[in-house]
Amino acid sequence: MHHLFGIRHHGPGSTRSLVKALEALKPDCILVEGPADAEALIANVSMEDLIPPLAMLVYNTKNLDQAAYFPFAVFSPEWQAIKFGLKNDVPVRFMDLPYSVQFALDAAEKEKLQLKIDTPNISEKEKKHRRLLQKDPMAYLAKLAGYNDRERWWEATFESADNPIEIFPAITDLICNIRDMEATIDPRDLLREAFMRKTIRQAEKEGFERIAVVCGAWHTPALFDLKSFKAATDNALLRGIKKVSTKSTWIPWNYERLSSLSGYGAGTLSPAWYHILFEDRDNATAVWMTKAARLLREEDLPTSSAHIIEGVRLARTLATMRNLPLPGIDELKEAAVSVYCDGYEEKMDLIFKKLITGDVIGQVPESIPMVPLQKDLEQWIKSTRLTKYRNSSETLWLKATAKNKQGGIDLRDETDHKKSLLLHRLDLIDIKWGQLKASPPSNTGRFKEYWKLKWQPDFAIKIIEAGMWGNTVYEAAIRKVRSDVKEVQKLSELTELVEQVLKADLIEIVPEVVRELQASTAMTKDVFHLMDALAPLVHALRYGSARKLNTAAIEEVIEQIIPRICVALPTACIGIDDDLSKEVFDKIVNTNRIIHLLENDKFQNDWHKTLQQIASLPKIKGILNGGANRILFDRSIIDLNQTTSQMYYALSRGNDPTEAAHWLQGFLHGSGLLLIHNISLWNILDEWVSSIPIEELQNILPLLRRTFSSFSASEREKMLGLAERILSGVQNEIEGNEQIDQDRAETVMPVLRILFGED
């Protein structure tokens, strides 16, 4: 005879009731809702170093896009049922439809079209009820019970309450009534339930007399009375379905991923709270409040034992007022905000995720079967001392300290260098464990890298997928790059790949990638693509040179690219629109910086000649013309007199004020100090602003303000002081004895204050 225990996945109340029911029943066989082709994993649950949260990973060995995860927490009913069976030497089996079948069905369903089914002629109110019932039966029940949130209803009814074992027949009866109310049954569920019935019949046939069936409550009506379903019909339903080859293993999971907020359908909103509720229901409120106080103290917010006592009292009072057996998340949060945070929810937000979701991550022992690549990766993680980051569910700066929040690794240190190699190689095989961040302004050296690390549970399938490229991280990265280089279409992507390959120290593949790069460079006619490609190449060259690598091939490519940029850029700048001119301006600024990093006189001379053409050609947009003049002035290619002439011409009354404003934007890019230190330039700007009619000035004012607002506060302050001194008559001390018309000056000052962002 079989006994049904309809549970909620990851429900602590369901788990407590289930454990009591199993102890009372003393089953001789336990059937658990889980894919039958993962049944071999059950035996691993007895291992002491297999620590939840975990997930069973089942995947198609020939198509890794097909993979399924089955998470378990310590408070999951299925986990405790398996633990009970292994502890008491009771056979435990999985009874759900194997994924060898489900994956085959998924593939077949993609090829079929969805058919529209007409709705019978019923009232709109009835349609609304049916839609909710069919879409989410539990939400329908919650609404009938007066709850807007199905999670809150289920928690109050089943998880927080200390229900007796008789709750299970009541749940079965409840779900039977729902399924009788014309709720739509998923065709896949019908297949799964047919397989479950088949598994139960097989256990009965083997002579087991007290069979415990642990499954989601939704399936209980289909398993309650086996006589209502003919075995021949179930067998016929399952016969002839194709299968695929699958494998399964255990992988670490975390509470963040277990939370339904992460998108996993059978998750739970509050795993950290559910863990507390399962471990110690009677004292759960006090435990939660104590943890909240501790976390707030870590954020330098004062809390005391008196706060904890008051918080517990308030939470329990709220629960009593709302007719709840125990405080839920809403009551706990409201009490904590009132008592700990003086009513300011923002303070609670600092720690709420840790209190509700939690940062727990599971552990899988090395003895669990792993693909060769995973074994190699685990060895790398140990040798590079990254285990802490591997076992954390938080986003962490690599080697961060209390004083240095961004951390940073020194590539001259052997272990740090190995960290960098591993993270770059993993990035190449699409395992994005680390994100390389820009160096802070205080660090300008070549030997520091700054990484943010976050391990994702689904890296498990990515590791298996990457295993097709090789059995070691190095081998997989080499073969993956060899494949990728043939697929890359853009020159900039290819140059970035060269930089990545060098940083990953994949020296043997560099010649192949560079050959592809040389061929792609020769075929590229777009000068802007060449400019985009230059920066990664120069970075790769400097990186390789710093590590004494052979970078001659990269130097050859750079020697081909820079002359082509210098020849083609002036012509490419003619006739482009405003939006593109701004993009090209950014490319020119970046290319200028990159070329000077090379410290090559020939390249710099050719580049300066190119900028001189851009600075003088009349059909080039003002921002490009102004930017080129500024670079030439900063590099002392043109002197102050030449710059003054160029500015005077660009800001002359005959030119369009908007185009002149764009010229000024390019010319003043980066710093306005030259206006402060060169009064002749300031006077030209002053005269130009004064000459613009007020209507036109209003049109270009946003552009001018954007230009001046990019300066530092000290620069803007000095400019405003200079303007005030000139308008106050100090002009004669600076240049000549010309007097200022105070009345006219007063009309200009408000505009100047707006430009400098002082109003």
**Segment 635-650, tens digit of pLDDT:** 888 888 888 888 887 7
pLDDT on residue 26? 95
Count CB atoms within 10 A of the CB of residue 520.
20
Q: 125-129, 177-181, 296-300: which has the minimum mean pLDDT?
A: 125-129
Separation of alpha carbons 237 and 536, rounded Å: 59
Separation of alpha carbons 754 and 759, rounded Å: 6
Span 597-614, mean pLDDT? 90
Residue 260: pLDDT band with limits 50, 70, 90: low
Q: At what angle do helices 578-597 and 622-634 cross, to 10 degrees?
A: 20
Q: Give the Å distances, CA to CA, from 630 to 322, 535, 587, 647.
A: 70, 21, 15, 10
pLDDT on residue 362? 86
196 Cα distance to chain centroid: 38
Pairs from 465-471 (Cβ < 8 Å, separation ≥ 24): 465/64, 465/430, 466/373, 466/429, 466/430, 466/431, 467/371, 467/372, 467/373, 467/374, 468/64, 469/429, 470/373, 471/372, 471/373, 471/376
Output the DSSP codes for 302-326: ---HHHHHHHHHHHHHHHHHTT-SS
Span 626-641, mean pLDDT? 86
Residue 549: pLDDT band with limits 50, 70, 90: low
Residue type, position 90, single letter: V
Span 547-573, mean pLDDT? 82
Residue 135: pLDDT band with limits 50, 70, 90: low
Tokens of 433: 């464990």
Nearest Cα to Cα of residue 274 among 33, 79, 35: 79
pTM of structure: 0.65
- Residue 348 region by backbone torsions, left for phi larger than 0, else alpha for psi between -120 and 50, else beta: alpha
pLDDT on residue 244? 92
Kindly report, residue by residue over 648-705, the tens digit of the pLDDT.
877 777 777 788 888 888 888 877 777 777 777 777 777 777 777 787 777 777 777 7
Is the pLDDT at 380 greater than 70? The verdict is yes
SS3 522: helix
Tokens of 298: 């870590």
pLDDT on residue 312? 94
Print burial letters for 727-753: b (CB count within 10 Å at least 16), e (below 16): beeebeeeeeeeeeeeeebeeeeebbe
pLDDT on residue 164? 78
Nearest Cα to Cα of residue 56 among 31, 37, 75: 37
β-sheet with 54-60: strand ranges across:
63-72, 54-60, 246-252
**Domain residue ranges in the chain:** 2-113+167-178+187-262, 282-356, 372-475, 639-759
Is the pLDDT at 584 greater than 60? The verdict is yes
pLDDT on residue 732? 47
Kindly report, residue by residue over 51-74, the tens digit of the pLDDT.
999 989 898 888 877 888 889 999
What's the per-residue H, E or C state across 460-481?
Answer: HHHHHHHCCCCCCHHHHHHHHH
Residue 480: pLDDT band with limits 50, 70, 90: very high
Separation of alpha carbons 515 and 494, rounded Å: 11
pLDDT on residue 262? 42
CB 561 within 8 A of CB 541: no
pLDDT on residue 575? 82
Nearest Cα to Cα of residue 186 among 109, 269, 262, 257: 109
pLDDT on residue 751? 76
Nearest Cα to Cα of residue 292 among 277, 303, 283, 281: 303
Give the helix/strand (H/E) hosting 654: none
pLDDT on residue 727? 60
Cα-based angle 154, 155, 156 (whole degrees, multiple of 5): 95
Separation of alpha carbons 429 and 470, rounded Å: 10
Is the pLDDT at 737 greater than 50? The verdict is no
Kindly report, residue by residue over 404-421, the tens digit of the pLDDT.
889 999 988 999 999 999
Chain-wide mean pLDDT for the chain?
Answer: 82
Torsion, Cα 369 374 378 381, to 10 degrees, reads -160
Kindly report, residue by residue over 493-524, the tens digit of the pLDDT.
888 888 888 888 888 888 888 888 878 887 77
Residue type, position 627, single letter: G
Nearest Cα to Cα of residue 378 among 469, 479, 459: 459
* Residue 455, C-beta contacts closer than 8 angstroms, at least 6 positions apart: 361, 389, 390, 391, 392, 393, 433
Locus of tokens 């939660």: 288
pLDDT on residue 208? 95
Start-end of H helices in 726-755:
731-734, 742-755
pLDDT on residue 115? 33
Length of the chain: 759
Residue type, position 263, single letter: G
Q: 282-286, 335-339, 350-354, 627-631: which has the minimum mean pLDDT?
A: 350-354
Q: 28-32, 191-195, 242-246, 697-701: which has the minimum mean pLDDT?
A: 697-701
Separation of alpha carbons 457 and 460, rounded Å: 6
Nearest Cα to Cα of residue 235 among 292, 274, 195: 195
Nearest Cα to Cα of residue 603 among 565, 552, 629, 639: 565
CB 13 within 8 A of CB 223: no
Separation of alpha carbons 504 and 498, rounded Å: 10
Separation of alpha carbons 583 and 590, rounded Å: 11
Locus of tokens 């004669």: 732
- In terms of C-beta density within 10 A (0-12 exposed, 13-18 middle, 19 or more buried), how is residue 626 classed? buried
Separation of alpha carbons 507 and 502, rounded Å: 7
